[in-house]
């Protein structure tokens, strides 16, 4: 029996998406995440927003909110976290298991922190993973441009050896929208 899919949208919050933050291809990433979210909702798949809480974005503050350019629908789910790994000390794994999810498409920010940590943790937690190649972003770092970080992580994930029995793919939005991600069984 085929399991359901879920789209994870990691840390796309007001605090970290301000114009001054200089996120790589932000408008494009937002548009592509919205496209995939609409596609998943139409198929009956889950959309889960993961929201980071810390001193920069305390719970309830404007910066803690999911960016308004990514609408959160009543049928969507929101999970709060306080570490890079979206599974550590959160309800994410239990939520996904309760929904019958076996495959996760991962998007969001920051590529080299929370997105990468969650890709690896999802595999270790027993999920198959698709990293949305054009659906994650970050900012420039002192030693590397944001574009180079995104490109590097897409390459790493393409060559990463997942645990036995798990699948890790790196697909573009176009590939996901063309149903490269399995349609869930009814």
The total of structural domains in the chain comes to: 1
* Residue 129 within any structural domain of the chain: yes
Taking the model in full, what pTM does it have?
A: 0.94
* Residue 185 within any structural domain of the chain: no
Residue-wise pLDDT for 111-160, tens only, equals: 999 999 999 999 999 999 999 999 999 999 999 999 999 999 999 999 99
Q: Tell me the CATH number at 124.
A: 3.40.50.850
Domain residue limits at 151:
4-180
Q: What is the pLDDT of residue 181?
A: 65
Average confidence score pLDDT of the chain: 94
Planar angle of CA 15, 141, 67, nearest 5 degrees: 20
* Residue 186 within any structural domain of the chain: no
For residue 74, pLDDT beyond 70: yes
Confidence of residue 58 (pLDDT cuts 50, 70, 90): confident
Name the region of 25 (left: φ>0; alpha: ψ -120 to 50; beta: rest): left
């Amino acid at each position: 029996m085929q399991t359901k899919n879920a789209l994870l949208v990691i840390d796309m919050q007001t605090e970290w998406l301000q114009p001054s933050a200089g996120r790589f291809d932000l408008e494009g990433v937002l548009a592509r995440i919205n496209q995939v979210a609409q596609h998943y909702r139409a198929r009956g798949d889950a959309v889960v927003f993961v929201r980071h809480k810390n001193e920069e974005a305390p719970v309830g503050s404007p910066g803690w909110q999911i960016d308004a350019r990514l609408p959160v629908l009543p049928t969507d789910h929101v999970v709060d976290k306080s570490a890079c790994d979206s599974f550590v000390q959160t309800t994410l794994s239990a939520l996904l298991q309760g929904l019958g999810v076996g495959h996760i498409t991962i998007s969001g920010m920051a590529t080299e922190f929370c997105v990468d940590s969650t890709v690896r943790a999802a595999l270790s937690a027993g999920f198959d993973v698709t990293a949305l190649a054009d659906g994650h972003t970050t900012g420039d770092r002192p030693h590397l441009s944001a574009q180079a970080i995104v490109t590097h992580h897409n390459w790493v994930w393409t060559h990463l050896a997942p645990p036995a029995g798990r699948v890790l793919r790196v697909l573009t939005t176009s590939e996901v929208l063309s149903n490269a991600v399995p349609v869930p069984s009814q």
